[in-house]
Structure 1
Amino acid sequence: MTAALRAGTDPERADSEGTAPLCAASVNGRASIAGLLLSAGASPGTVRELLVHGADPDVREDHGTGWSPLERARHGSRPATVALLTAAGASGSR
């Protein structure tokens, strides 16, 4: 995924069924992929949809030892995503 994003793959390009990559990564428990997509510019609208459908705003990648979504959004300079996660109760603390 990292190589594809570096090569210019659109982090929001949906698959043939219309599923956004961030949604697919999140639904399938691929927190590290979701973090990469957020860092690459995946839309806060997708994050909003995930939160509306019950996504945990504090789930950490790497089986709970990695970054939280809030830390990823802050590191990737995504203020809209930071605001959404904070409003959803994300703490970003360990």
Structure 2
Amino acid sequence: TGFVETLKPQYIPGHAMMSPGASSGSNILEQLLEFKSRIMESQTSLQREVQRAKQEAREAIEARDTHAEEMADLAETVEMATLDKEIVEEK
């Protein structure tokens, strides 16, 4: 929308438009190139954000898996301790 806002002041209803070969043509080209540049910068920024989000997701999955393994080990340890306790109590 910034591009449209930039062009709006150039159009005045009831007044003749300048021909494309006039100085406004190069002005419009400059505006288009600037608009393209802003789009490219936005795209680059968004791609970086996507890469960061993917990395964070990978790290979160890895942390979840590590936590699950630790909980499984803990459950096994508790089960072994319980069995040891029962064996001692039976003696």
Quickly name the TM-score band, shorter chain normalised.
under 0.3
Q: Which has the larger radius of gyration?
A: 2
Tell me which of the two structures has the higher relative contact order, counting C-alpha pairs closer than 8 angstroms and 6 or more residues apart. 1
TM-score with structure 1 setting the length: 0.21
